[in-house]
Chain A
Amino acid sequence: GQQVMQIPQYQHVQEGEDFTTYCNSSTTLSNIQWYKQRPGGHPVFLIQLVKSGEVKKQKRLTFQFGEAKKNSSLHITATQTTDVGTYFCAGQAGYQLTFGKGTKLSVIP
């Protein structure tokens, strides 16, 4: 079945440093979605990428979808304490959305 791998599993950064998480799928995706889950909360949708090579920005967050539509990345510039949480990528193939295990981001003030 479809597998979505995400690295790193954990990332500790000093406030103001940049952060990147990478996502790789075993199969070609129709789209990839990113979610953020705060401690004790539920996943909240951030963005969806559909086109090969697509790049989208949301303020300090930059999302990329690979040319082969099998990998993606999320980059946060100048992290803030409000960025703390676990970031999940989720790959869509057919009806099923498969989540990675997530990258847990800790930001040291």
Chain B
Amino acid sequence: ETGVTQSPTHLIKTRGQQVTLRCSSQSGHNTVSWYQQALGQGPQFIFQYYREEENGRGNFPPRFSGLQFPNYSSELNVNALELDDSALYLCASSLLGTPGNSPLHFGNGTRLTVT
């Protein structure tokens, strides 16, 4: 069983730039959620994708966008990066069934630093 994998592991960007983070779901999962975790904080829900459509979104601006592909992998795109976007970005996949009601399996995350 392949777990959730994320790439890259670390990334340094300049304010105003754009970034794309990638995630491969655990096999058999069809729901992907993205979370932002600032240092010393809990993960904050960005959005969730189910069957290639966004079906839930947290309190994040539109410059945070995403995609889910037919193979259930996913991308998180952030435009016009701000210093406060520096954080660990976690992707989590979950099991078939009602989206959001099964435990999350997290990847190791991408550490984004915006300078």
A residues whose Cβ falls under 8 Å from a Cβ of B: 1, 4, 6, 30-31, 33, 35, 41-45, 48, 88, 90, 92, 94-102
Q: Can you sample 7 A-B contacts with CB below 8 Å? A: A4-B42, A33-B103, A42-B106, A88-B43, A97-B104, A101-B41, A102-B41
CA distance A101 to B103 in the complex (A): 18
The DSSP consensus for interface residues of chain B is loop
Shortest distance from the beta carbon of A65 to any chain B beta carbon, whole Å: 15
B residues whose Cβ falls under 8 Å from a Cβ of A: 33, 35, 41-45, 48, 55-56, 58-59, 90, 99-101, 103-109
Residues in A with CB closer than 8 Å to B45 are: 96-99
Residues in A with CB closer than 8 Å to B99 are: 95
Q: Assess whether B108 is in contact with A42, with CB atoms less than 8 Å apart.
A: yes
Please pick, from A1, A44, A88, the residue contacting B59 in the complex, using a CB distance under 8 A. Answer: A1
User: How many pairs, one residue from A and one from B, have CB atoms within 8 Å of each other in the complex?
Assistant: 55
Please pick, from B41, B58, B108, the residue contacting A41 in the complex, using a CB distance under 8 A. Answer: B108
CA distance A96 to B101 in the complex (A): 9
Shortest distance from the beta carbon of A80 to any chain B beta carbon, whole Å: 24
Q: Give the residue name and chain of the A residue nearest to B6 (CB).
A: A42
CA distance A42 to B101 in the complex (A): 20
CA distance A90 to B104 in the complex (A): 10
Shortest distance from the beta carbon of B73 to any chain A beta carbon, whole Å: 18
